[in-house]
């Protein structure tokens, strides 16, 4: 039985934000850090209950707001297999956070007592990490306040980590006969890189060098521990925007979201004539990466998540063909509605690779990839994604008697790619390995297909919940009549499409527009944005 007086004291101490309504987004809670103490206290309870429901298996908790401004923060809950919290528990987390925020003292005591008592007999295990935001330590204490005091949870606090690094020990804790250390992450992925580059006699990158923009986030701290372990990279890589100790510089004028959204170079890189380097940008917690280069006219050229998917699909399809397994193992790409239409046509028509569309959020893409393919490649256009290899893939490739170069490479790829979650460092290595093996320059990669011009716009609305979508978020069912108006607008432009999707973290909607020219895409975006505002 939980002590009601203890519950009251803990709520009084840690849940100072009252009367605020919280919403669970596509990857967890995210908001201004000053309002998250109540959410973190609730998360400690939910994470412990999830661990208890899984007989004490470790559940991960990552305190981060990814690409958001430095003043924000948030939290992600990670399943023992490294995937995101199962959707059926999201409503439980939301309901508890809102009860703690707006419920009566008696209702809160009863609910927490009921939840905590249901876990008697099993001690929960939590794996905890945080990014470099200054609000992280304070919010961690709110999490520990409920997890330790109400559940006596066994907690391993790894301190500053990238989000993928937190997923790593969460998923490995039960498979190793000792505690999982951060060093294991560095060793595993650098060893895979070294082995695959030696196998293919890679002695240099197919460009003048690599420049990594770390968004002044925790990835900047970790990349310096990683690069020296990697052959070829240690002498050819420049790291910029790696000052995670300057809180206000996080994601400011740099990082994957800035580069993708603004279609421009981040702070720290200047346009240089004849520059043949490859650039990449992480986001604040290093679970996204986008690439780019400067063409012969010193013009910025983006290589986003669509390009990463296409590159990996091209390469893996080749390996399967060379190994005689193309017809044996299924391979496909999972995209969201934000994927450029040209990338979809390239995959389907030129590579003969099936494409599935999923709702926005890697938890949805991950599910589709696992459910449909032996090799499931998924990347959101923002650079968040990975490749999933099924048990059938491992059994089939492992049983091949002909140990060809292609077969050996297929065995190594799953070791190089972090399959639990999108990982900027691991994905960067996979892209660099493929480009080096194919001997493709950045411009060669960029010329595989031509993107349709597009624009992603944010429209602030009074209530985003009114915008309800179907067909994997490509069509609206509410507000009534708005979709028909969007369809009519789209019909006036060439090679056009547009859709409206409610934000998962703020009262805003995203308007995506695509057309034959940038001028038409911009005009279509403006028309649809105006229609959205008129419907409010």
The alpha helices in 26-130, defined as continuous H runs, are 37-53, 90-102, 105-117
* Contact indicator for 109, 1 with CB cutoff of 8 Å: no
What three-state secondary structure class fits 18? Answer: coil
| 501 appears as a binding residue in the annotation | yes
Question: CA 507 to CA 463: how far, in whole Å?
Answer: 6
Give one DSSP letter per residue of 140-186, joined into a string. Answer: HHHHHHHHHHHH--EEEEEEE--HHHHHHHHHHTTTSSS---HHHHH
Catalytic-role residue among 66, 173, 323, 390: 66
Rounded to an integer, what is the distance from CA 529 to the centroid of its chain?
27
From first CA to last CA, the distance across the chain in angstroms is 49
| 464 appears as a binding residue in the annotation | no
| 503 appears as a binding residue in the annotation | yes
Closest CA to 301 of 509, 513, 499, 443: 443
Catalytic residue status for 426? no
| 73 appears as a binding residue in the annotation | no
* Contact indicator for 75, 140 with CB cutoff of 8 Å: no
| 382 appears as a binding residue in the annotation | yes
8-state DSSP, 191 = H
| 125 appears as a binding residue in the annotation | no
| 504 appears as a binding residue in the annotation | yes
| 502 appears as a binding residue in the annotation | yes
Give one DSSP letter per residue of 306-342, joined into a string. Answer: HHHHHHHHHHHHHHHHHTT-TTTS-EEEEE-TTS-HH
H helix or E strand, kind and range, residue 88: none
| 283 appears as a binding residue in the annotation | yes
| 304 appears as a binding residue in the annotation | no
Bond prior to 536 in cis (omega within 30° of 0) = no
Binding-site residues for substrate, please? Answer: 380-382, 501-505, 510
Binding-site residues for Mg(2+), please? Answer: 66, 283, 285, 287
Binding-site residues, please? Answer: 66, 283, 285, 287, 380-382, 501-505, 510
Q: Provide the annotated active-site residues.
A: 66
């Amino acid at each position: 039985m939980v002590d009601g007086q203890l519950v009251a004291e803990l709520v009084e101490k840690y849940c100072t934000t009252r009367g605020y309504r919280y919403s669970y987004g596509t990857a967890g809670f995210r908001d201004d850090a000053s309002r998250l103490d109540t959410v973190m206290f609730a998360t400690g309870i939910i994470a412990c209950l999830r661990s208890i429901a899984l007989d004490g298996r470790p559940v991960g908790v990552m305190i981060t707001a990814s690409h958001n401004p430095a003043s924000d923060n948030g939290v992600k809950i990670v399943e023992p297999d490294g995937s995101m919290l199962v959707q059926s528990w999201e409503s439980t987390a939301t309901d508890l956070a809102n009860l703690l925020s707006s419920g009566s003292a008696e209702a809160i005591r009863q609910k927490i007592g009921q939840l905590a008592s249901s876990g008697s007999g099993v001690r929960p295990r939590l794996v905890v990490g945080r990014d470099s935001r200054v609000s992280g330590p304070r919010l961690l204490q709110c999490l520990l306040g409920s997890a330790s005091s109400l559940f006596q949870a066994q907690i391993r606090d790894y301190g500053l980590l990238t989000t993928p690094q937190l997923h790593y020990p969460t998923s490995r804790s039960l498979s190793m006969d000792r505690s999982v250390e951060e060093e294991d992450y560095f060793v595993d992925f650098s060893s895979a890189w070294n082995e695959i580059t030696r196998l293919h006699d890679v002695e240099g990158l197919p460009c003048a060098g690599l420049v990594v923009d770390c968004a002044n986030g925790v990835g900047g701290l970790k990349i310096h521990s990683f690069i020296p372990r990697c052959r070829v990279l240690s002498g050819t890589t420049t790291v910029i925007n790696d000052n995670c100790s300057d809180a206000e510089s996080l994601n400011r004028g740099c990082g994957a979201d800035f580069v993708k959204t603004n279609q421009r170079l981040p702070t720290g890189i200047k346009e240089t004539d004849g520059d043949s380097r490859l650039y990449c940008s992480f986001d604040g917690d290093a679970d996204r990466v986008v690439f780019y280069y400067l063409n012969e006219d010193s013009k910025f050229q983006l290589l986003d998540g669509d390009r990463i998917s296409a590159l990996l699909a091209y390469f893996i399809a080749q390996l399967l063909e060379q190994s005689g397994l193309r017809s044996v193992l299924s391979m496909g790409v999972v995209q969201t509605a934000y994927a450029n239409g040209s990338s979809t046509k390239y995959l389907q028509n030129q590579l003969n690779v099936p494409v599935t569309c999923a709702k926005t959020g890697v938890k949805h893409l991950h599910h589709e990839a696992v459910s449909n393919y032996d090799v499931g490649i998924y990347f959101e256009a923002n650079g968040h994604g990975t490749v999933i290899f099924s048990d059938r893939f491992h059994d089939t490739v492992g049983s091949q008697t002909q140990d060809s170069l292609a077969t050996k490479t297929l065995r190594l790829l799953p070791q190089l790619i972090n399959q639990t979650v999108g990982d900027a460092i691991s994905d960067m290595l996979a892209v660099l390995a493929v480009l080096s093996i194919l001997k493709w320059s950045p411009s060669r990669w960029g010329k595989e297909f031509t993107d349709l011009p597009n624009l992603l716009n944010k429209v602030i609305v009074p209530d985003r919940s009114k915008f309800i979508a179907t067909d994997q978020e490509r069509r609206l069912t509410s507000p009534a009549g708005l979709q028909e108006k969007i369809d009519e607008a789209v019909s006036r432009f060439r090679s056009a499409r547009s859709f409206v999707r409610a934000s998962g973290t703020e009262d805003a909607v995203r308007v995506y527009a695509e057309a034959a020219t940038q001028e038409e895409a911009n005009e279509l975006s403006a028309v649809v944005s105006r229609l959205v505002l008129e419907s409010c």
